Structure 1
Amino acid sequence: MPITATAGAKLYIGGVLAMKSDDFVLTDFDSATWVEIKDLDSLGSLGDSANEITQDLIGENRTKRLKGTRNAPPMEVIAAINYEDTGQQALVAAEKTKDDYAFKLVFDDAPSGGTPSERYFIAKVASANEAYDTANTVMKLNASLWVNSNVVRVDAAEP
């Protein structure tokens, strides 16, 4: 598959979806009702990193490294403020709760007649702040999503 631009990607918020001990799978998101978060400016990054565990071994004169628990850094989402957008309203409302919400990211990479790549995950909306900046800028909604699950990847597919 060729490289793809972020332009055309869409982010959706679903309803409350609780954490679980096992990894999420695509069918865990089947009952979600999705609302698009519009007027996106930046999607940040999404994915896991392993925490580092180290042990200094005297006899080997070497620090050994192991992979520890998985951790997803916050996904920083920026949108031009649109008070009429139901997706932005849902994002702001989600910040006021302690719940995890389902999210879906859809890329604009579908082959002709095929389906696009998608990413599914749950996250707490940790912040939903407005940024006003300078006279010649658009007012922004900055949201920080604390990802609390694995990311379920669905690759683009031919028809």
Structure 2
Amino acid sequence: MSGNAVQSAGTRLFISTTALCTTEAQYKALAWTEVEEIEDIGAFGETFEKVTYKTLGDGAVHKKKGTVDYGSGTLKLARVPTGAGQIAIRAAAKNRKAAYNIKIEFDDAPDGGTPTTIYLRAYVMSYTTEIGGNDKVIEASVGLEIDAEPIEVAADAP
């Protein structure tokens, strides 16, 4: 068993402007709004297209890595329509032209230090309401399409 595993509880997600950021310093300089009541951030990460070709000489299929897709994610939220973060993410879903800056912070900061942080740029593709059964809260589902390579900054002690 590894002592370095981090649990999901305590992870937070924030949204910011459409300003184009490509460095950690640019992301850190932004003002962030926390998206409230997140239940699940989902999985995301890079996937490469498979490129194949067949050669006559050996009658084999050869494979290479093609273009990279930085992925997508689906946020699950307990719907809070008056929350500043949920208002911001709903507005982002209505913007057809711009990608937004997203920050994810794990709850793994050493005493007095900073947590592992992932910065990414994504289009907010959807915001849908999900009304479940009697023993459920009304939820929202938010679709994200990541448009650039995420930047991960490791947790750091003071």
TM-score (structure 1 length as normaliser): 0.92
Aligned position for 2:4: 2
CA RMSD of superposed structures (Å): 1.4
Q: Which amino acid aligns with 2:137?
A: V
Aligned position for 2:48: 50
Would the alpha carbon gap of residues 63 and 28 (structure 1) be closer, same or farther in structure 2, given more than 3 Å must change?
A: farther
Q: CA deviation at 1:30?
A: 3.6
CA contact (8 A) 1:117 1:156 kept: yes
Give the paired residue count: 155
* Unmatched 5+ stretches in structure 2: none
Q: Which amino acid aligns with 1:88?
A: Q
Q: Pairwise mapping of residues 33-72 of structure 1 onto structure 2 (< 5 A)? A: 33-72=31-70
Any idea what SS the aligned residue of 2:92 has? helix
Per-residue Cα deviation, 1:3-23 (whole angstroms, up to 9, x for no partner): 00011000000011348xxxx
Q: CA deviation at 1:110?
A: 1.0
CA contact (8 A) 1:17 1:122 kept: no
* Unmatched 5+ stretches in structure 1: none
* Partner Cα distance (2:23, 2:68) in 1: 17
Q: Percent identity?
A: 26
- Shift >6 Å, 4+ stretches: none
Aligned position for 2:19: 17
CA contact (8 A) 2:45 2:72 kept: no
Per-residue Cα deviation, 1:46-75 (whole angstroms, up to 9, x for no partner): 211111111122222221111111102211
Any idea what SS the aligned residue of 2:16 has? strand
